[in-house]
Amino acid sequence: MLAIEADALRRTYTSRTGWLRPRRTETEAVRGVTFDVSRGELFGLLGPNGAGKTTTIKMLNTLLLPTSGTARVFGHDVAREPVAVRRRIGYVFGGDRGLYERLSALDNLRYFAELYGVGARDQKRRIGELLDLVGLTGRERERVEGYSRGMRQRLHIARGLLHRPDVLFLDEPSIGVDPVAARDLRRTVAGLAAAGTTVLLTTHYMAEADELCDRIAVIAGGRIRALGTPESLKARVGDRDVLEFEVYGVDEELLARVRRIPGVRGAAVEERGTAQALTVQSDRGAEPHARVLAALDGVRVGRVVSREPSLEDAYIAIVEDATARREPAEVTA
Amino acid sequence: MLFRFLSSARLVLVGGALSYRALFNWTTPPMFVGTLLVGPLLQVFFFVFLGRELQVADDRFHLVGNAVLAASASCVYGGTMAVANERRYGTLGAVLLSPRHRGPLWAGRALPYVLNGLLVSAFVLAAAAAVLGLPVPVEALPGLALVLLAGAAACSAFGLALGALGLRFRDVFLVSNVASSVLLLLTGAAVPRNTLPEWMRTTGELLPLTHAADAARRLTAGDGLDARLLGTELLVGAGYAILALALLAVFERGSRRRATLDVM
């Protein structure tokens, strides 16, 4: 039996603004998402902000009803059998919120153990195991309000695992976490998957997805744009060369100019402290180096590196392609 | 069967106690003493001295009525915080993902405020009676405890029903503020109900604390326990408890459909 089955899932949000002349806006957050996750698989859902990742997860974990389509978790329909689904899932989300600030970590876990039906006899042992697993043993009696973001994130994971869920939804668990804590988090997640827990992970960190995931779906504009193993996604840009320029002050206009260079298949810029990293993908052998530098006339350019395409390059190519033929998400009435 | 009962009992008792500490804003000693004990005690003095000046009613009326009403601060606001503060901490989603039955879950949320309200009313009554020299017959104490408990329970159920609105609306504490004023005006705890218009008197009949205040006054006057008043107070409380659970269920279901919860 499959752990997760999503079939043509759609979700539309309706919002109203104004009292005297109300305006109704419909936003299609998810537009027909279909995928399966096998038991014990570590499945990644990648996409830019607003792509529909969290909405998809919230439909799968029963917090939202799909507008249309169906989804099942271990055969239980998420719309019709929410309690059966909730017994088998854990949900961990990133960020500072989602914990009782005034309680200690121990009391947070005790309360959620009650909520998730962990038996009284099991509770103490299970909480001890999880505190060990996430490295919070010794700090469990401190109030959560004094915890760092990394410690909160680890506590979120412990909470999500209290009732030994068969499926764990991890929604951007490493957001804002320092590199060492993120590495520990990846180890924990890999360990869970190795022990047979099915994991659905959303993340913005491509290296994390590349390292952890068995398969990845890239979602953009509410639709799945690509689905496969990290290797198969990378192969989509295997016929490309990648140049990375260290630049200072590239704006959208310059970026568009770079994209228009013959042979260039895509260009993206990422802020890195005071500098920017301009990544240019081109057809293999096109050698656009000089033409890119010419297009960047007037911009300070530092180091230039040529490298093999990575998962991040594949992701950028998929998302840019989706953006280029994007349908309007909002309908106003 | 026994296991399920014990498990539900734990959710009510242990879960309730933990949620009280997690969500009630006034658990720190300065807030608890200032907001729940000193404030209501001063309110008793205010109404007693005002009543003497205006000769609206005697000391017993104001002292006992306001002591019963003192439970409303923790019960109304506590009940509201028990649901609405989940939004503040971003924990509502994690709570709603619980597979547990909602009855014990929400009942556990209300229980600590019943005990809190009872404690506050008992303290305010004892302290005000001692300071103002109002005699309370010793034989009335068990009955008084029962009446105050019924009033606090009814008021907590009322507070939870208001808190349920927190699943649908953001500014639910506005409703709590209005509800507190309504209780002050219409329950007859601070204002004699026979001076109110008919529709206000009728509305007061349907509010918590109205019948508990009347029953407590009779007891302190040495008239014994009025079972009818006590029963009516309990009935009003049961009505609000049912309303609270119904609203919580409806709004939880609606939140899945309309995505009205900022759950995470």
**Is residue B95 in some structural domain?**
yes
Is B35 an interface residue toward A (CB < 8 Å)?
A: no
Residue B262 pLDDT > 70, yes or no?
no
Whether residue A330 lies inside any domain: the answer is no
Among the partner-chain residues B19, B22, B98, the one whose CB lies closest to the CB of A116 is B98
* Token pair recorded at residue A69: 């389509």
- Global pTM reads 0.86
Cα of A217 to nearest chain B Cα, Å: 23
Between CA A143 and CA B142 the distance in angstroms is 40
Indicate whether A98 belongs to any domain.
yes
Do B21 and A54 make contact, defined as CB atoms within 8 angstroms? no
Which residue in chain A is spatially nearest to B92 when comparing CA positions?
Answer: A98
Confidence of residue B229 (pLDDT cuts 50, 70, 90): very high
CB contact under 8 A, A111 and B22: yes
User: What DSSP letter does each residue of A159-180 carry, written as one string?
Assistant: HHHTT--SEEEEESTTTT--HH
Residue A13 domain-assigned (yes or no): yes
Question: A9-28: per-residue pLDDT in tens?
Answer: 999 998 888 877 888 888 89
Alpha helices in chain B (DSSP H): 2-10, 16-23, 29-31, 39-54, 59-69, 71-89, 92-96, 102-132, 141-164, 172-186, 198-205, 210-220, 227-258
- The span from the CA of A109 to the CA of B228, in Å, is 45
Domain shared by A169 and A64, yes or no: yes
For residues A291 and A171, state if they share a domain.
no
Q: Is the dihedral of CA B194, B198, B202, B208 positive or negative?
A: negative
Tell me how far apart the alpha carbons of residues B34 and B28 are, in angstroms, rounded to a whole number. Answer: 10
Domain hosting residue B253, numbered range: 13-257
Q: Are residues A96 and A146 in the same domain?
A: yes
Cβ-based contacts of B102 with chain A (< 8 Å): none
Size of interface A-B (CB pairs under 8 A): 92
Average pLDDT over residues B80-102: 90
Q: Do A101 and B90 touch (CB under 8 A)?
A: no
Q: Which residues of A touch B27 (CB under 8 A)?
A: 102
pLDDT tens-place string over residues A271-293: 888 899 999 999 888 888 999 99
Taking an 8 Å cut-off on Cβ atoms, the answer to whether A114 and B27 are in contact is no
Query: Both A141 and A154 in a single domain?
Result: yes
Instruction: Tell me whether residue B1 is in a domain.
Output: no
Of B15, B90, B257, nearest to A114 by CB-CB distance is B15
B10, B23, B259 ranked by CB distance to A114: nearest: B10
Q: Give the domain range for residue A303.
A: 239-308
Q: Any residues with CB less than 8 A from the CB of A131 and at least 6 apart, and which?
A: A105, A106, A109, A137, A140, A158
Count of structural domains within chain A: 2
Is there a domain that residue A99 lies in? yes
Is residue B2 included in any domain, yes or no? no
Based on the fold, state whether residues A205 and A263 are members of the same structural domain: no
Contact with chain A for residue B102, Cβ under 8 A: no
Nearest to B90 among A14, A82, A98 (CB): A98
**Strand ranges across the sheet with A198-203:** A89-93, A167-171, A198-203, A42-46, A215-220, A223-228
Alpha-carbon span A6 to A224, nearest angstrom? 12
For B53-63, what is the mean pLDDT? 90
Total domains in the fold of chain B: 1
Instruction: Indicate if A153 and A298 belong to the same structural domain.
Output: no
* A270 in the same domain as A186: no
The backbone torsions φ and ψ at residue A167, rounded to the nearest 5 degrees and listed phi first, read: -125, 130
pLDDT value of residue A33:
96
Confidence tier at A178 by pLDDT (50, 70, 90): confident
Distance CA A11, CA A66 (A): 5
Question: CA A9 to CA B119: how far, in whole Å?
Answer: 52
Judge whether B238 lies within some domain.
Answer: yes
